[in-house]
Amino acid sequence: MGHFIGRWFTLTVAAGVMVWLLPGTVIIGSSNVLALLSFALFMALINASIKPIVHVLALPITILTLGLAALVINVIFMELASWLSLAIFHTGVYIAGFWWAVIGGFIMMVVNGIVSAIIGD
C-alpha cells in the first residue's frame, strides 16, 4: 500500500508540472489540489491494474511499430484517467487532444522519474 501511495504522490507532482507547462491541459473544478489528486489517482490505478496486461498483449504490435503502439496505449490511458476523474469526481485534468496528451505523457514520464529518484520510490 505504501508503494501505491508513493506512486500516487509522484504522479500528482508530475500532473501538476504537466498542467503548469502545457496550455492544452486545464484543471477543471474548484480545487486545483483535488483535481490533480483525482487525476493522479486514476492514473495510478490504471498503471497498477490494466496497463501491464495491455502492454503484454500489445507487445507484438509494439515491436512491429517500433514503440508507437505503446505510445498510443499510454495516451489512451491518460485520456481515460482524465475522463474518469471528471465523470466520477467532477474535478480533474482536461486534456485538449491527442498531441497534448503525447507531450503531457513525456513530461509526466520525466518528472515522475525525477521525483521517484528523489524520494527513493
Q: What is the pTM (predicted TM-score) of this model?
A: 0.91
State in Å, rounded, how far the first CA of the chain is from the last one: 12
Residue 17: pLDDT band with limits 50, 70, 90 = very high
pLDDT in tens, 87-112: 999 999 999 999 999 999 999 999 99
Which residues, in sequence order, are CB contacts of 82 under 8 Å at separation 6+?
39, 42, 92, 93, 94, 95
Which is more confident, 120 or 4? 4
Q: Looking at residue 121, what is its pLDDT?
A: 66
Q: Looking at residue 115, what is its pLDDT?
A: 93
Which cell is 103 given?
A: 507531450
Residue 84: pLDDT band with limits 50, 70, 90 = very high
Q: Looking at residue 28, what is its pLDDT?
A: 96
Cα dihedral sign, 77-83-87-92: positive
**Euclidean distance between CA atoms 84 and 43, whole angstroms:** 10
pLDDT in tens, 21-61: 999 999 999 899 999 999 999 999 999 999 999 999 999 99
Q: Which domain holds residue 90?
A: 2-119
| Residue 111 Cα distances to 37, 59, 62, angstroms | 16, 25, 24
Looking at the structure of the chain, the number of domains it has is 1
**Rg from Cα positions in the chain:** 14
